[in-house]
Every structure is written in structure tokens, then in C-alpha cells.
Amino acid sequence: MKPTHHAKLRELLRMHPDGLTTTTISHYLGIAECAARSSLKSMTDAYIDRWQPARNRSWAAVWCVVEVPEDCPRPDTPPKELVK
């Protein structure tokens, strides 16, 4: 089984809330750019926030991760009315 980079990517992107390109990510983590891109595409909490100009007159995706909130706590008191 291939090792995934999800945890490292998630931690890095949370430290950079404005997002990073795969080129920058690959430099920070020391992994191939294609490995970073592939892992980001398979992460359910990663998304392309915007596009910025890159070398060779092309575009580079700027990736971010969603901060998932905790579940709402269950109320301590019983409901006053039963839902029908």
C-alpha cells in the first residue's frame, strides 16, 4: 500500500490559511509535485480556492483545506414536545 501524505498536507495547509500551490507544497514537504497534486485531489477536505498566474503563461491552483467544526453537542434536557 502506498503511503499517503494527507496528514502532512492538512497540517501544512492549516499553517497557511491563505493556501499554497502544489509547487510550494512539494518544496515544503520534499515530495514530488505530482504526488502532492494526487493526494490533494483525493482529500475530501481540500479544495482549489483560486488560480494564480504561473510560469510559462499558465495557471497554478492555490489549494486550501476546510476547517471542519465539531458536532453540535446533544442537549442535556429532554424535549418539551414530541415530534410527530
Residue 80: its pLDDT value, please? 79
- Which segments within the chain are labelled E, that is strand? 46-54, 58-65
In a domain, 73, yes or no: no
In a domain, 10, yes or no: yes
Residue 1: its pLDDT value, please? 40
Report yes or no: 8 and 29 within 8 Å, Cβ to Cβ.
yes
| Mean pLDDT, each 10-residue run in order, the chain (84 residues) | 80 96 96 95 96 92 93 87 64
Q: Could you give the C-alpha distances from 45 to 62, 68, 81, in angstroms and in order?
A: 14, 8, 37
Number of domains in the chain: 1
List the grid coordinates of 44: 475530501
In a domain, 17, yes or no: yes
In a domain, 41, yes or no: yes
| Residue-number span of the structural domain to which 23 is assigned | 6-59
Please give the model's pTM, rounded to 2 decimal places.
0.79
Residue 76: its pLDDT value, please? 87
Residue 34: its pLDDT value, please? 94
In a domain, 44, yes or no: yes
Residue 3: its pLDDT value, please? 61
Alpha-carbon distance 39 to 2, whole Å?
A: 11
